[in-house]
Structure 1
């Protein structure tokens, strides 16, 4: 479906694919240190999320761009944001 024929405005998709996907990827990266196992040197759980950040962001970005169900995509990103924010909050408190 081309944007000319679409009745929905583009800004909700841009908001989802842009800043929300980047924020969600950053929180997943920060939370990755909690759920990844430590390696032999004790830093694998810190390095792997940093290296995986571009892939996480790309998956979220393309999902937001290509999905036909924006509400489902917003719900998924919100669930990921809340889960990782809660995990980080519990770890830091």
Structure 2
């Protein structure tokens, strides 16, 4: 019979949320930020700021996953960011009227 060490499931959940989970959420948030940030004078601030802020976003998610005691709260914050920015990206890329404007039709 296999012994189960208490807290092992929580530990692996935190590892997954702090490692690949934080990287995945950071990439999606970085891509979604370009849609809601203003363009600025040169029109590229919405592209540069997410690239500069990506390490900060990743570090925040990583340390939150490492330091928070509630795995549910960690997952809820990561899921909220993933769904909200993923929804922005999906709306942008599935918008047929914007695609028709670009195609000139």
Mind listing any 5+ residue stretches in structure 1 that lack a counterpart? 1-5
Aligned residue pairs total 88
* Cα deviations by residue, 1:33-90 (Å, 9 ceiling, x for unpaired): 0111111110000000001000000000000000001111101101110111110000
CA RMSD of aligned residues (A): 1.1
Distance across 2 between alignment mates of 1:42 and 1:92:
20
Aligned twin of 2:88? 87
TM-score by length of 1: 0.91
Aligned twin of 1:78? 79
Aligned twin of 1:43? 44
Mind listing any 5+ residue stretches in structure 2 that lack a counterpart? 95-105
Give the greater-gyration-radius structure (CA).
2
Aligned twin of 1:3? none
SS in 2 for 1:78: helix
